[in-house]
Chains A and B, each alone.
Chain A
Amino acid sequence: MLGRGASGVFWMSRYLERAENTARLIDVGFHLALTRGNRQSQDEEWKSVLTTTGMLEDYCSKHSDFGGSQVFNYLLRDRDNPGSVLAMVENARTNARVVRTSITNAVWETTNEGWMHLRDLLARPVRETNLGEVLREIRRIGTLVRGALEGTMLRNEVFNFSRIGTFIERADNTARILDVKYYVLLPSAAWVGSSLDNVQWDTLLRSVAGNRAYSWLNAGSMDPRGIARFLILDGQFPRSLVFSYEKIRSNMAGLAKEYGHEVPAHQLLRDAGDKLNQTAIEEIFEGGLHEFLQDFIGKTIEIGSAIAADYRFSE
C-alpha cells in the first residue's frame, strides 16, 4: 500500500482514539464537579483535564477562569482549538476520505455518519443537560468504527496500521492520564485510605474506563499500588500500558509477516516491550512513578516516529 495510505489509516485511528479518551476525561471532570462543592477543587479538576490533553496553556491564553461549561465547550467544539474533539473527529474523517480506497464501505460510512451526527450535535454550545448525550455519541463513534474495522476489514496491512495507530494513541493517553494524577497514588503522610483518596482513585480509574473492571478483580477494595499495577501491568485490561504494547507488537508482527521482513521499529518495540514486561510494580515506585511514565511516554513517541519513518508515511 502507499505510505501516505498507511499514514491515513494510522492517523484516522489515532484521532478517533484520542477523541474518545478526551470525551472520557470530560465525563470524569464533569462528574467530579457535580460531587464536589468546593470551587477550588473543581477548578483543579478541570485544570488537570486540560493538562492531560496538553491544552492548558492555550486555554489560559483565552480564558481567565475554569467554569465547567466554558471548559468542556472549549474541549469539545471551540473553532480556534485545533485539538477539540470536533476537530479530531473531522481529522479522522478527512484521513478516512484520503484512504477511502483502502477501507471498506462500512468503515467509511460509520466514520462519515459519526462525523455528520457529531457536527450537528456540536453546532450549538453544549449545555450541562445535553453533555451526556454528546459524550455518549463520541464514545459511540469510536466503538462503531472499531466494530466496522473488526467485522469487515481484511486482516492485512491496512488493518494492522489502523490497530497500531489505535494502540500507540491508547498507550500514550493512559500514560498521560496516570502521569497527571500520579501523586494521588504516592504514599504520603495523609495516606490512611481517607474518603478523599477513594474518590480520587475512583476518578482515575473512571478516566480510563477501568473502575468496574478493577473492583471486579479486587472485590471492591482499593489500594494505590494495586491501581498502578492494574493500569500499567495488567495484561487483561484493554487500556493498560502492557496490553497496548502487546497489541502493537502483534500488529507489527503481522506487518513483518506480510512484507517478509522486519524494520528497525520492530527491534525498538521488542526492547521496550521486554523491559516493560520484566518490570515489577515495586521497582516502578522505587525508581519513581513520574520518571517511569515520562520515560514511557518518550519511548512511545519514539516508536511511533520510527514506524512512520520505516514505512514511509511521508517523503
Chain B
Amino acid sequence: MNDTRRTRAVLGVLIVAALVLITVDYRGGENSPLRGLRDVGAAVFGPVERASAAVVRPVGNAFDAITDAPDQRRRAERLERENQRLREQVRANALDAGRSKQLDQLLHTAGIGGYKIVAAQVISAGQGFEDTVTLDVGSSSGIRRDMTVMSAAGLVGRVTRVGPATATVLLATDAASSVGARLEDSKEIGIVQGRGRRGLGDGGSTPIKFQLLDANAPLRVGQRLVTLGSQGDSPYVPGVPIGTVERIDRPEGGLSRAAMVRPFVRFTSLDVVAVVVAPPKSDPRDAVLPPRPAPPPTAAPSPGASGTPAPHRQQGKKQKAKRKTEG
C-alpha cells in the first residue's frame, strides 16, 4: 500500500498496546485492573449472545441430531432402525420436551443431594485452548463467582466470572481446572484435573485425570468419583458425581497414582445445566451417584422371569452361572 510508514507506526503502537495489556493482565492475576474490561465485554456481548443462542439453538440441535446418528447406530446395534428413526423424529420435533425432561432429571439429582439450584442454559463456548462456556443466567439471578455448576449427570465446572445476565463457567475438562475428589465407598481423596480442550485424551472419552494422593490406596477400574467439597462449599459443593475410573496409569515412581476418568457428563453437548446457589446442609456422600449399572441384560428375557423383580433375577442368573462353573 502507499503509506507503509503509517501502517508500520500503527502496527507498532497496537503491538505495544497488546503487550501492555498482556503484561498488566498477567501480573494482576485475579485482581487484574483489566477485569473491568471483561465486565464491559459481558455487558455488551452477553445480551447479543443470549439473543443469538435463541435463534441458533434449533439449528444446533438439528446438527447434533445429524452428527449423533451414526455414533448411536454404531454404539447400539441392537436398537432397531425404527426405534432410532422415532428418536430422531422426537428429537427434531419436540426440542422443548427433551429440555423439560433434562430439567426434570436435573431437579431430581439436585433433590437427592439437597442442592439448591438455578437452572441455566449454555449459550456459547470458549475459543482456542480453553474449555469454558457461557450460561444465560447472571448476577440478577443470584449467581456469584465460585459456585458449582452441575448437570443431571454430574459435575460440569465452576463459575469464574459473572455478568449482569451471563456467567462464565470453567469446565472440569479445562487444563486449568482442578477439583478435589473422593473415591466412592472410601475415604481416599485426590485431585481431578482437566486434560485440555474438550478431552483430547483417548479420542475424547477420558478428558479428566484423577490423581490419588495416597499411592498405596486401593484403586480399581470402574470405581466412581464424587466431589470432595471445598472449604466453605465454594467453589465445589460435596457429593456431586464426577465420573468413572477408566484406566489406571502404571506408577512411574511418583508420589501419587493417576487414573483416567470417564466423566458422567457429556461435555461436547452441554445444554441444560444448574448452578448450585446453596450447598446441601450435610454432605450427601455417595447418595447422588446413579445406581450401579446392572450387568448387561440378556438379549431377550424369558417370559417366565418377566414378572419377578430385578434383584431376584440377577441372583438367579448368578446361581445359574455358579452351577455352570461347578458342573
A associates with B:
no
B residues with CB within 8 A of A: none
